[in-house]
Structure 1
């Protein structure tokens, strides 16, 4: 009741398919593998039973400040998001939830563990480091969750995860959630899960992308992409928008260009410190800014349900990156638009993505920032201009060093 009341205040009263299937099994303490695409409700699929069992299950020892649940996620951004989601659902419960990730001092995290944490959320490397230091005690963990397991594999975290799993020598429940199931993840599941129930909340031939996400793809000249993006950002009905770039340098350049054109924009990329990244993400979630320029390192961590547009400023390197990027929109039943600007030097990459995902767009049209087809396809008003106001400052951007005057 405490959890459902908390969710109701958040406007969550109905389950998604993955939640409907997993909740009864997870609440009974069984190991399970949950498979569903990004944005289909996996967090509360494991979060609700986790909180309920830690708080009130007979086979879980009463909380005493030693971790009872451990949730492992691939990125800092996702750790923050999952921690926030669990905290909102547990607002009526006497549970302490804390998030651990790299890029921040150890002292605060070690102090939190000394005071007492009931539910730990964190990234593999930092959790393993804290365990090796003796700060993170795992012998009372009753519930283990591996979230976005395929992404952790892609990022090279599998050895760290195996070390953590090996440290859990006592009986416990394990839930593994992932959008895809590569062979290495299935091997991991066979090795460390006890007769897991495999739940797939979609048919085997389901599309890899959300059905309520409209995909618009066209060829764009490299020198015209920024002007095109400025026009797209003036589309009718546009809300929160994520622009993906392939490199940190391009992300910073695009954010700066849009700020100079008068847009309210933030940035998230690897050259930024964690506090700056969190400021940008929090401002985006709260609506203080409505445009976020990000590199792929943040693709899994931006878990915001009301993103209306995703713009691939640069074509992704592979099909799964494309799926993860555009999975930021069309979430939780909302409609979304995913726009991919294919540069002439990126045509081969797009051919591979289109073929593997069977998107049916092998030969995208060529559009420019002045093309009527662009305006029609994305509901851009004729009054759209190259800039919308005076220059603004990029939230999370790196301050420029003033040039020294010439002598």
Structure 2
């Protein structure tokens, strides 16, 4: 394997990488960086978590001309979260290059602030199709002198429905630009886009880091719509994830499920397109700091999320295509770690399940609740212990003790609430380390 210096990067860039704990290139970086430095158009097919972001950022930084004041590189991402993630990487790697200026342009942020920055010196613009189109229409973003165009996660960008915006943006760029396209999959729309707008591109396909098969244990849980919520709660109680993302099909379903989980005592929050940008950033900060254990999200909102410590992904609603499935479960099993992905499938989901299994070229193991994890040997004592959630315990207890009086049940709920508050307070005082056993779940003793 070659090192970064042998790939053609400068000593200054290599030193910056070392300062950030990056010593050796990943396979996608080893293949892409020399091609990009040699001015080739590149189509790279690689999963998230393979290091693809650095594969295009590093050579672009090398080739920038700081003396020029106009935007030289444009990176288009499908979501605000991914745009912010890329921006953070660029700023981290250009910390020693004070002369390089970066702008993130996405919806939900003060457009006037973006306009003010665009009036000054900006070398790299990272944004979402909608906001970039808005700036082009306003005349506040000019791409006539652009040198480098990057389409990141192109398959998801087109899947969401941004083809028209992407083509409008490309039409404003010079024909002589260098175009780089990165995508986890290569559906027909992406291939057609590449044929139309790229010049004799080099093709890269990284197979060795397929997160869907190697780092993530995948299971299907057969259930019904009526039983789905209770089944999810039981698996959460059994697995006790450190951090988990729960995917729902719509914003409404995500919000409804989050409220249900919170009412049962789970540390949960929601992430979807109806939230303001400040609220989204607040939710993500709490999730990254492990102040909440469960994040209930929609596909679009969770694009580009890269959170350390996500141990589980639950597909509460089955994705309708292989691409979405791959992107969802790619939120876990990252950076050499392992993860668990569980997909809840109802009888009406059989068509989508078959399509996913066909797409990943394998059968996903079915998992029954009784065999989800090894049961404790002392099952009798286990059953006598309080439920992991005080509120759920109170509900279960009142259902099994028909002789309880109303006042007794009120006392149970009051006691449960106090227990929950005490345990949550203890959980927040803990440092962010990955707990073991029952301590993995905050406020749930």
Q: TM-score, normalised on structure 1? A: 0.84
Q: What is the deviation of 1:245?
A: 0.9
- Report the Cα offset of residue 189 of structure 1: 1.7
In structure 2, relative to structure 1, the CA distance for the partners of 1:347 and 1:390 (3 Å cut) is farther
Find 1:264's aligned residue among 258, 264, 267.
Answer: 267
Name the structure 1 match of 2:329: 326
Give the 3 Å change call, closer, same or farther, for CA 207–360 of structure 1 in structure 2.
farther
SS of structure 2 residue aligned to 1:283: helix
Deviation at 1:289, TM superposition (A): 2.7
Counterpart of 2:94 (choices 68, 90, 93) is 90
Asked if 1:181 is matched to 2:186, the reply is yes
For residues 376 and 123 of structure 1, what CA distance do their matches in structure 2 show? 45
Matched, 1:211 2:214: yes
Match of 1:375, SS state, is: coil
The answer for the alignment partner of 1:387 in structure 2 is 389
Q: Is the 8 A contact 2:237 2:388 kept in 1?
A: no
Number of equivalences: 378
Counterpart for residue 416 of structure 2: none
CA distance in 2, matches of 1:224, 1:385: 19
In the alignment, structure 1 segments of 5+ residues that lack a partner are 55-60, 393-407
- Of 150, 154, 165, the match for 1:149: 154
Quick one: distance in 2 between partners of 1:250 and 1:87? 36
Q: Distance in 2 between matches of 1:244 and 1:21?
A: 33
2:115 alignment partner, one of 110, 118, 126? 110
Deviations 1:289-339 (A, max 9, x none): 332110111232212343211111121222222111111111222111111
**Distance change (3 Å), C-alpha of 1:323 and 1:213:** same
Are the equivalent residues in 2 in contact too, given 1:208–1:357 (CA < 8 A)? no
Shift of 1:386: 4.9
CA distance change for structure 1 residues 361 and 68 in 2, over 3 Å: closer, same or farther?
Answer: closer
Separation in 2, partners of 1:27, 1:237: 46
Scaled by the length of structure 2, what TM-score is found? 0.78
Contact preservation (8 Å) 2:146, 2:174: no
2:59 corresponds in structure 1 to 49
- Cα pair distance change 1:339/1:28, threshold 3 Å: same
**Other-structure match for 1:400:** none
State the Cα distance separating 1:190 from its structure 2 match. 2.3
Contact residue 213 and residue 336 of structure 1 kept, 8 A: yes
74-83 or 100-109: bigger deviation? 100-109
DSSP 3-state at the match of 2:144: coil
Alignment-derived partner of residue 14 in structure 2: 4
Helix, strand or coil: the match of 1:266?
Answer: strand
Q: 1:49 to 1:234 in 2, by over 3 A?
A: farther
Q: CA RMSD in A?
A: 2.7
1:38 to 48, 55, 58: 48
Kindly indicate whether the alpha-carbon contact (under 8 Å) linking 1:101 and 1:127 is maintained by their aligned counterparts in 2: yes
2:395 matched to which residue of 1? none
**Deviations, residues 124-171 of structure 1 (Å, cap 9, x unaligned):** 121122122111121232211110111111122122222222211252
- Displacement of 1:207 after TM fit? 6.2
In structure 2, do the counterparts of structure 1 residues 384 and 346 end up closer, same or farther at CA, with 3 Å as the change threshold? farther
| 2:280 pairs with one of 252, 270, 277 | 277
Contact 1:241 1:311 in 2 (8 A): yes
> Residues 355 and 34 from structure 1, CA distance in 2 versus in 1: closer, same or farther, beyond 3 angstroms?
closer
Equivalence for 1:132: 137
SS in structure 1 at match of 2:119: helix
Give 1:160's aligned residue. 165
**What secondary structure, in the 3-state scheme, does the structure 1 residue paired with 2:373 have?**
helix
Task: State the distance in 1 between where 2:27 and 2:240 align.
Answer: 28
Q: Secondary structure at the match of 2:90?
A: helix
Name the residue aligned to 1:73: 77
- The answer for unaligned runs of 5 or more in structure 2 is 1-10, 391-418, 425-445
Could you say what secondary structure the match of 1:390 adopts?
Answer: helix
Query: Given the superposition, is the C-alpha separation of residues 114 and 231 from structure 1 closer, same or farther in structure 2, using an over 3 Å criterion?
Result: same
Q: In structure 2, what is the equivalent of residue 201 of structure 1?
A: 206
3-state SS in 2 of match to 1:79: helix
C-alpha deviation, 1:33, in angstroms: 0.9
Q: Deviations over 1:358-391 (max 9, x none)?
A: 33248x3553xxx3x123399xx95683516637
Instruction: Return structure 1 stretches of 4+ with deviation > 6 angstroms.
Output: none
Structure 2 residue matching 1:180: 3-state secondary structure: coil
For 2:157 and 2:303, locate their aligned partners in 1 and report how far apart those are by CA, in whole Å: 10
In 2, are the aligned partners of 1:102 and 1:125 still within 8 Å (CA)? yes
Judged with a 3 Å threshold, the aligned counterparts in structure 2 of structure 1 residues 352 and 189 are, in CA distance, closer, same or farther, namely closer
2 CA distance for matches of 1:275 and 1:76?
Answer: 12
SS of corresponding position for 1:107: helix
CA distance in 2, matches of 1:178, 1:51: 21
- Find out whether 1:337 has 2:340 as its counterpart: yes
